[in-house]
Amino acid sequence: MSNWNHRLVVSCALIALAMSAQGCAEEEAIAAASVGSACSSATPCADGLFCYDGLCFDATEVGCKADADCPDAYKCLSTGLCQADAQCETSFDCCAPGDVTCEMVCENYQCVGTACTAGQTEVCYNDCHKGERRCNLGAWTGCDAAVKTAEEICGDGIDNNCLNGVDENCPDCVAGETVVCETPCGTGEDLCQADGTWRGCDAPTDCTCTPGDETTEPCGVCGTRAGTCSPSGTWVWSELCEENGECAPGDEETSATACGLCGSQRRSCQDTCLWGEWSECQDEGECSPGAEEQESCGTCGGTSRVCDESCVWGEWSTCDQTQGCSPGEIDEQSCGLCGTKTRVCDGSCGWSDFGPCMNEGSCSPGMVDDQACGMCGSQERTCNDSCEWGTWAQCSGMGLCSPGTVEEKDCGPTSDVGICEQGTSTRTCGTGCQWNAWGSCLGATYETSEVCGNGLDEDCDGSDWTVPDDYEPNNTCSTCKWLGEDPDFTGDDILFGSFDNVNDEVDYYCFDGIDDSPPIYCPWCSENIKIELENQSFGMDADLALFRKTVDDDGNVLKTSMENCEDYNPFVTSVTIGPDDESISWSESSKPDTDFYILRVKNYEASDCWGSYELSVKGLD
């Protein structure tokens, strides 16, 4: 009976059931949502049923020819029945025609990827941030590593901007904060200083230790020295203080050479234990030591005062009538940085105020200036007698590299075959312009023991390990295993097949079926084709499909050549979810059935070298 005839019978039976229910309405009310009850948008069907032609149907009993014949979220299978939540029936349904890059396959009517295995994880990176991605339905999820930001976020323990390490340019702590600390000798307290740096643990450091132990302790300014536990159980400290700085953070100093008018320059020690730049000249006085200033007094008299060594004017002298100046006379004095200022004698024999200091230089004679250069080097220049800076001296004290510079080198396995991949190791130049040690090898993949039939070359020898059965190659219609005419592979002669690798998901067998039944129609003497699939390996889900070179009742060609049988629907199938046995038992029709038959055994789960099964095939007999 065809699927459409089955559907007609079910529909008629349900309509009759509905009419009978109407006649009994007075005795007992029938729920509108049950099978065969009337339905509409106002009266929906119960869960698992759907409304068709005004009646509630069980979707698994409804025949179909296309997806439109099924309710929403159902797919019309080649068996002529509707399947709930089905995306596909074969892997060809999961990829667009001609898309050779598609890696989707059909498993339990769902399209899943083949890029990875469920539960698999691997290391991934967002710039310098390490994370992990997981396999979901055969496809990789995104990397869960932190995203790189333009600015560093203090206190989160992450190198957010991937530049100079975790929390660069951030204070180490909050001023006044204390924490409990330990040394090999005991427990103490560490205090956060005003500049945001830790003072250092005050726990004792000189004590009994385990011979061979190693440690470090602060020394000098921002430096460290190494300690090794001697055979006698006491610490022996190195005399070399490494990475020692110039000063202690927060220290200040004043230039030994005065600037301007008895002024001074100051500089502060930075968190890196290096001196910052000199400040502008500060706290200048009123005049240059030894300078003299005169004013008129009385009638063309004069008085004067002299600038002392502190650049402060002394007291005016007693008015001397003989010290007046001559009208129009010009007086010039040194000022500032090798500059000059002038005044003019007015008509009352008195000096005008000095004008501004003109033509000053850029520094005080003998002043020394320094700056960083090269790789942690420094150079100096000296102010000459004309208050101009001399040329910079040669750069000295340079290191091996520039702080923050990163070098990379390849590391990992010597082979790049199979899963093996080279990794990368990096090292960073420290604040002392010396290279730190090389870091771990990241991103390298090393050879492992070979896994049979997973499509990967784990031991990096150039090939995957497979164990093909005696019938390979038989993965296409055109390479089907020939079983002869009306074969009888049963009992002790059954076929022992297997799916030996991840790409081996289907086996084809073919034979000629010879119709030997009487020429006169004889229902009780018809011949049968009997196929049994048994003893599948754990985890397999293989189904059976039988094709033949024939046409259907409407004249449609179902099979024209054995090269393209995958393009046509099988005329009989056995589909059981899971590793249960599959069986096809087909009885010949009333017309001659001598034909060419192709049997497909298809596995819908992952294959390996041990995906075996037992197959018995009996032709028309």
74-110 pLDDT, tens digit per residue, is 888 887 888 877 878 887 778 887 776 777 888 888 8
What is the DSSP secondary structure assignment for residue 395, as one 8-state letter?
Answer: P
pLDDT band for position 6 (50/70/90)?
A: very low
Higher pLDDT, 296 or 263: 263
Buried b (16+ CB within 10 A) or exposed e, 130-148: eeebebeebebeebebbee
pLDDT band for position 222 (50/70/90)?
A: confident
DSSP lists the bridge partners of residue 217 as 225
pLDDT band for position 11 (50/70/90)?
A: very low
Q: Tell me, what's the pLDDT at 407?
A: 93
- Separation of alpha carbons 486 and 618, rounded Å: 7
- Separation of alpha carbons 581 and 534, rounded Å: 5
Give residues with Cβ within 8 angstroms of 247, minimum separation 6: 221, 253, 269, 273, 274, 275
- Separation of alpha carbons 495 and 613, rounded Å: 8
pLDDT band for position 534 (50/70/90)?
A: very high
pLDDT band for position 188 (50/70/90)?
A: confident
- Separation of alpha carbons 215 and 94, rounded Å: 62
Tokens 């097949």 belong to which residue? Answer: 497
Range(s) within the chain of domains with CATH label 2.60.120.380: 477-618
Query: Does position 474 have pLDDT exceeding 50, yes or no?
Result: yes
- Separation of alpha carbons 410 and 389, rounded Å: 49
- Separation of alpha carbons 126 and 132, rounded Å: 10
Query: Does position 494 have pLDDT exceeding 90, yes or no?
Result: yes
The model's pLDDT over 112-150, given as tens digits with 9 standing for 90+, comes to: 877 787 788 888 888 788 889 888 877 788 888 888 887
Residue whose C-alpha is closest to residue 532's, from 503, 559, 562, 509:
509
Give residues with Cβ within 8 angstroms of 332, minimum separation 6: 340, 341, 342
**3-class state of residue 18 by DSSP:** helix
pLDDT band for position 524 (50/70/90)?
A: low
Secondary structure (H, E, C), 348-371: CCCECCCCCCECCCCCCCCCEEEE
Q: Tell me, what's the pLDDT at 9?
A: 36
Q: pTM for the full model?
A: 0.34
Domain 477-618: give its CATH architecture: Sandwich (2.60)
Q: Tell me, what's the pLDDT at 382?
A: 93
- Separation of alpha carbons 618 and 514, rounded Å: 12
